């Protein structure tokens, strides 16, 4: 009986100790192991408004946000570093709401490499962007848009030139005669004669024998030399960076800001220029063609198609042979009325523009 009471008391004591341990251990154990201190909030600077590249950082452009200490990195600026931050300039354009770090600022007298416009980052390494003139026809009815891939075709007109004069053939011809009042024996003391032409505008021809009478004749051209046209695809799979003109706003003073906002944007006009991403050598080639007035035509490629195809240059001879076009035979009859030019037929829905006089 006595042993049973002692056993019951031990069980009760053990239950009391267990309950006390469950209540006290959560409070005592952190102190024994080293409790984690409560995080301290820190005021960190951010851009309260957009800051352009190279512009100074002022109090009006800054704001503060409260962050826990464990979220604040070493390169951020706190309120204690106010004098260190204010007065610096932005290395890059700051969007509104961006936390400012040490790598984003520079001293006003420090030179740094600017990042350039946003679209410059779209150009692959080792490539260049170059703009070429274009029209609605040359851009697949403006179907060539930003990011498209195109092929570039160029057409040129070739003429024969004199290698020395670098002028179009045939040359003009003339004769040199001695002055009429100078004897032939006295010509040695005269260095120049008198240059005259056999006929006004006389040109160089060629001597032929007329077959019917076997009579020698001198054949002259009836018109100026006709250029020979050739077209070839010069570039393939070229990326279009921009169709049209980039948004350009010149720097205005505070008194001119309202006037500048009312100015007409170039983007409201139909695009007459397209910017392509090409290799440096292709950029040199396109520059030469632009200043040589060589027309360039763009053809739109399927998205994701990176294939290349060999093409043959198109000339009159190529057209006749490739498409089996015969040269018309000289017949003893012809069409009336006389046809000298090919023109599209007039359609009833065509708009006729009448000039005002």
- Can you spell out the DSSP letters for 164-189? TT--BSSPB--EEE--TTS-GGGGGG
Judged against a pLDDT cut of 80, whether residue 192 lies above it is answered with: no
Shared-domain flag, residues 54 and 99: yes
Q: What is the mean pLDDT of residues 247-271?
A: 56
Q: What is the mean pLDDT of residues 135-155?
A: 94
More confident residue, 186 or 26: 26
Shared-domain flag, residues 86 and 155: no
Nearest to 77 by CA among 68, 93, 107, 86: 86
In a domain, 137, yes or no: yes
As a whole number of angstroms, the distance between CA 280 and CA 292 comes to: 19
Judged against a pLDDT cut of 90, whether residue 348 lies above it is answered with: no
Shared-domain flag, residues 239 and 294: yes
276 Cβ contact list (under 8 Å, min separation 6): 129, 130, 131, 132, 150, 152, 235, 238, 239, 240, 241, 286
Judged against a pLDDT cut of 70, whether residue 340 lies above it is answered with: yes
pLDDT for position 239: 95
pLDDT for position 10: 76
Q: Per-residue pLDDT tens for 150-167?
A: 999 999 999 999 999 999
pLDDT for position 121: 74
Shared-domain flag, residues 157 and 297: yes
In a domain, 237, yes or no: yes
More confident residue, 175 or 294: 294
Judged against a pLDDT cut of 90, whether residue 298 lies above it is answered with: yes
In a domain, 11, yes or no: no
How would you classify the pairing of strands 215-219 and 206-210?
A: antiparallel
In a domain, 123, yes or no: yes
Shared-domain flag, residues 102 and 232: no
Confidence of residue 342 (pLDDT cuts 50, 70, 90): confident
Judged against a pLDDT cut of 90, whether residue 69 lies above it is answered with: no
Among 78-82, 99-103, 163-167, name the most confident range. Answer: 163-167
The pTM assigned to this predicted structure is: 0.62
Q: Which two structure tokens, joined as six digits, stand for 201?
A: 């505008």
Q: What is the mean pLDDT of residues 312-340?
A: 93
Shared-domain flag, residues 56 and 155: no
Domain-ending residue, one of 78, 106, 134: 106
Shared-domain flag, residues 166 and 234: yes
Shared-domain flag, residues 124 and 100: no
- Is 193:183 a contact under the CB 8 Å cutoff? no
Share of the chain above pLDDT 70, in %: 79
In a domain, 264, yes or no: no
Among 31-40, 317-326, 346-355, name the most confident range. Answer: 317-326
Shared-domain flag, residues 133 and 93: no
**Which residue do the tokens 């001198």 mark?**
218
Shared-domain flag, residues 318 and 235: yes
Shared-domain flag, residues 168 and 239: yes
pLDDT for position 127: 93
Q: Per-residue pLDDT tens for 218-257?
A: 998 988 999 999 999 999 999 999 999 987 655 444 444 5
As a whole number of angstroms, the distance between CA 56 and CA 106 comes to: 10
In a domain, 191, yes or no: no
Tally the domains of the chain.
Answer: 2
In a domain, 49, yes or no: yes
Domain-ending residue, one of 49, 72, 106: 106
Shared-domain flag, residues 295 and 232: yes
In a domain, 162, yes or no: yes
Share of the chain above pLDDT 90, in %: 37
Q: Which domain holds residue 86?
A: 41-106
CATH number at residue 54: 3.90.1210.10
pLDDT for position 199: 53
């Amino acid at each position: 009986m006595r042993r049973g009471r002692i056993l019951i008391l031990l069980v009760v004591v053990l239950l009391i100790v267990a309950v006390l341990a469950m209540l006290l251990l959560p409070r005592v154990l952190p102190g024994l192991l080293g409790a984690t201190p409560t995080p301290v909030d820190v005021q960190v600077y951010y851009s309260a408004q957009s800051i352009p590249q190279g512009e100074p950082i002022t109090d009006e452009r800054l704001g503060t946000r409260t962050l826990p200490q464990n979220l604040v990195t070493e390169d951020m600026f706190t309120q204690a570093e106010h004098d260190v931050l204010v007065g610096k300039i932005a290395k890059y354009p700051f969007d509104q709401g961006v936390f400012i770090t040490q790598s984003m600022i520079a001293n006003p007298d420090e030179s740094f490499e600017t990042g350039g416009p946003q679209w410059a980052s779209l150009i692959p390494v080792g490539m260049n962007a170059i703009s070429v003139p274009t029209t609605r026809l040359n851009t697949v009815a403006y179907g060539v848009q930003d990011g498209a891939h195109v092929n570039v075709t160029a057409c040129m007109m070739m003429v024969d030139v004199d290698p020395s004069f670098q002028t179009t053939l045939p040359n003009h011809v003339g004769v040199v005669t001695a002055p009429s009042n100078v004897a032939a024996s006295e010509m040695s003391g005269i260095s120049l004669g008198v240059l005259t032409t056999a006929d006004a505008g006389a040109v160089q021809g060629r001597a032929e024998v007329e077959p019917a009478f076997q009579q020698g004749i001198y054949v002259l051209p009836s018109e100026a030399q006709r250029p020979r046209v050739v077209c070839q695809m010069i570039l393939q799979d070229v990326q279009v960076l921009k169709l049209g003109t980039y948004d350009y706003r010149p720097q205005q003073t505070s008194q001119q800001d309202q006037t500048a906002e009312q100015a007409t944007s170039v983007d409201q006009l139909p695009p007459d220029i397209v910017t392509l991403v090409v290799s440096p050598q292709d950029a040199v080639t396109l520059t030469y063609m632009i200043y040589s007035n060589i027309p360039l035509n763009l053809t739109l490629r399927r998205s994701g198609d990176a294939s290349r195809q060999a093409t043959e240059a198109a000339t009159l001879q190529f057209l006749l042979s490739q498409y089996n076009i015969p040269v018309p035979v000289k017949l003893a009859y012809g069409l009336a009325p006389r046809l000298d030019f090919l023109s599209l037929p007039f359609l009833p829905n065509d708009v006729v523009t009448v000039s005002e006089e």
